[in-house]
C-alpha cells in the first residue's frame, strides 16, 4: 500500500502510511508520531481500566483499597497465564523454557509482596471510615486467587462454594480443580527422567487434595543429593520451591497488614480474620520439596580434630 501526504492540521503533519492515517508533530525537539490504527488507549483498554474504580462510599481512603485489590488481581491474572505457559513447557520437557517462566512468576510475587507497603499506609481509622460500606465483600471471594492455588497444586473443592451464584467463576474453578496442577506436571517430568514416581501420583483424580508420598520425597532427595548429575531437575526443584516461598511471604504480609489494620476483628467475609490467615501459612503446594530438606545430610569432611587438646 503506497503512502500519501495529507494536508497539515496546524502543527500536526498528516499522511497515509500502510493505509492508515498517520500524524506527526515536533514536540520539545522530538519528532512524535501516532496513528489512527492502534492507539495506546485502544490497545490497553485504558478507558475501561480507568473507569473500573467504583467506590461504594464517599471516603477518600477507599480508592487506595480498590486500586490495591485491582492491581493484585491483574498480577494474579498474569501469574495464571505464566503458570500455564510453564506447564506447557514442562509437558514437552523443556526445562530451560519452563525455568525462565517460573523466574518471571517469582519476580511478580516479589513485586506483589513489596506492594503491601502501599496498603500499610492505610491506618485502622482510615479503614474504619469505609469498612461498613463493604458489607460481606472480601478477598476470600477472589476466584482468581483460588484458581492460582488450584493451579499450583492446592486443591480444596469446598472453597468453590462461595462462587455458587457466579456461574462462570464456579465453572472455571471446577474445571481447574479437575485438571493436573503445576506440581503434577513437575512429577511427570521426574517420572519421564527415570525417577520412581508412584503410578497413583501420575494418574489420579486431580480434584482430590495431593497427598505427600515417601517415594516422591526420595526422588527429590536423590536429585538434591547429587545436583551435578540431575542439574535440570535440581534447578526445576529450586525454582518451584521459590514459588511457594514467595507465596507464603505474600500470605504473611497480607496477614500482617490485616492485623495492623483491623487487629483481631472478624473479616468482612465472616472468617476469624487474622487467625484464619495464620492457619493458611501452614498450607503447602509442594510438600516433599520441603520435607526432603530435613533429610539431607552433610558428608563427613573437613579437618581432623581428633588430636586437638581438650580444653
Ligand atoms: C486493609 C486491607 C485488607 C484487609 C483488612 C483484609 C482482610 C482480610 C481478611 C480478614 C480475610 C479473611 C477472610 C475474611 O473473613 O474476610 C482476607 C482474605 C483474603 N484477602 Fe484480604 N484484606 C485486605 C487486603 C487485601 C488485598 C489488597 C488483597 C489482594 C487481592 C486481598 C486478598 C485476599 C485473599 C485472596 C483472601 C483469601 C485468603 C485465603 O483464603 O487464604 N486482601 N482478607
* Tens digit of each residue's pLDDT (9 = 90 or more) over 241-286: 999 999 999 999 999 999 999 999 999 999 999 999 999 999 999 9
Distance CA(16)–CA(180), nearest Å, equals 51
**Rounded to the nearest whole angstrom, what is the distance from the C-alpha of residue 140 to the centroid of ligand 1?**
6
Helix (H) or strand (E) holding 32: strand 30-35
Helix (H) or strand (E) holding 8: strand 4-9
Query: What is the reported pLDDT for 70?
Result: 98
Whole-model pTM above 0.85? Answer: yes
By three-state DSSP, how is residue 137 classified? coil
Residue to mutate, 53, 139, 249, 283, ligand 1, most ligand atoms under 8 Å from C-beta = 139
**Rounded to the nearest whole angstrom, what is the distance from the C-alpha of residue 134 to the centroid of ligand 1?**
12
Residue 159 near residue 177, CB atoms below 8 Å: no
**Rounded to the nearest whole angstrom, what is the distance from the C-alpha of residue 269 to the centroid of ligand 1?**
9
Q: Which atom of ligand 1 is nearest to the CA of 159?
A: 40
Query: What is the reported pLDDT for 306?
Result: 77
First to last CA, the chain: 91
Which structural domains are found in the chain, ordered by start? 4-47 (no CATH), 59-295 (1.20.58.480)
Helix (H) or strand (E) holding 118: helix 95-119
Counting as low any pLDDT under 70, the low residues of the chain are 1-2, 310-311
Which residue's CA lies nearest to atom 3 of ligand 1? 258
Burial of 112 (0-12, 13-18, 19+ CB in 10 A): buried
Q: Which atom of ligand 1 is nearest to the CA of 270?
A: 15
Query: What is the reported pLDDT for 301?
Result: 78
Distance CA(92)–CA(85), nearest Å, equals 11
Amino acid at each position: 500500500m503506497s503512502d500519501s501526504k495529507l494536508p497539515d492540521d496546524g502543527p500536526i503533519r498528516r499522511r497515509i502510511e500502510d493505509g492508515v492515517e498517520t500524524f506527526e508533530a515536533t514536540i520539545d525537539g522530538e519528532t512524535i508520531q501516532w496513528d489512527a490504527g492502534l492507539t495506546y488507549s485502544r490497545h490497553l483498554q485504558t478507558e475501561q481500566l480507568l473507569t473500573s474504580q467504583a467506590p461504594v462510599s464517599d471516603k477518600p481512603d477507599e480508592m487506595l483499597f480498590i486500586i490495591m485489590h485491582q492491581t493484585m488481581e491483574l498480577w494474579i491474572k498474569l501469574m495464571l497465564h505464566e503458570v500455564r505457559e510453564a506447564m506447557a513447557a514442562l509437558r514437552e520437557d523443556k526445562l530451560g523454557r519452563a525455568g525462565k517462566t517460573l523466574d518471571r512468576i517469582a519476580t511478580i510475587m516479589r513485586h506483589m509482596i513489596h506492594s503491601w507497603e502501599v496498603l500499610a499506609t492505610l491506618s485502622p481509622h482510615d479503614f474504619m471510615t469505609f469498612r461498613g460500606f463493604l458489607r460481606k465483600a472480601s478477598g476470600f471471594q477472589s476466584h482468581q486467587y483460588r484458581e492460582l492455588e488450584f493451579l499450583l497444586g492446592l486443591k480444596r473443592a469446598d472453597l468453590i462454594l462461595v462462587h455458587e451464584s457466579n456461574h462462570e467463576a464456579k465453572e472455571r474453578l471446577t474445571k481447574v480443580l479437575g485438571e493436573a496442577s503445576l506440581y503434577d506436571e513437575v512429577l511427570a517430568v521426574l517420572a519421564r527422567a527415570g525417577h520412581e514416581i508412584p503410578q497413583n501420583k501420575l494418574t489420579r483424580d486431580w480434584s482430590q487434595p495431593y497427598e505427600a508420598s515417601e517415594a516422591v520425597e526420595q526422588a527429590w532427595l536423590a536429585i538434591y543429593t547429587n545436583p551435578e548429575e540431575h542439574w535440570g531437575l535440581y534447578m526445576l526443584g529450586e525454582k518451584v520451591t521459590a514459588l511457594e516461598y514467595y507465596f507464603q511471604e505474600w500470605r504473611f504480609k497480607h496477614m500482617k497488614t490485616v492485623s495492623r489494620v483491623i487487629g483481631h476483628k472478624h473479616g468482612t467475609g465472616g472468617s476469624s480474620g487474622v487467625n484464619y490467615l495464620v492457619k493458611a501459612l501452614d498450607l503447602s503446594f509442594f510438600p516433599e520439596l520441603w520435607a526432603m530438606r530435613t533429610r539431607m545430610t552433610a558428608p563427613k569432611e573437613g579437618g581432623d580434630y581428633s588430636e586437638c587438646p581438650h580444653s
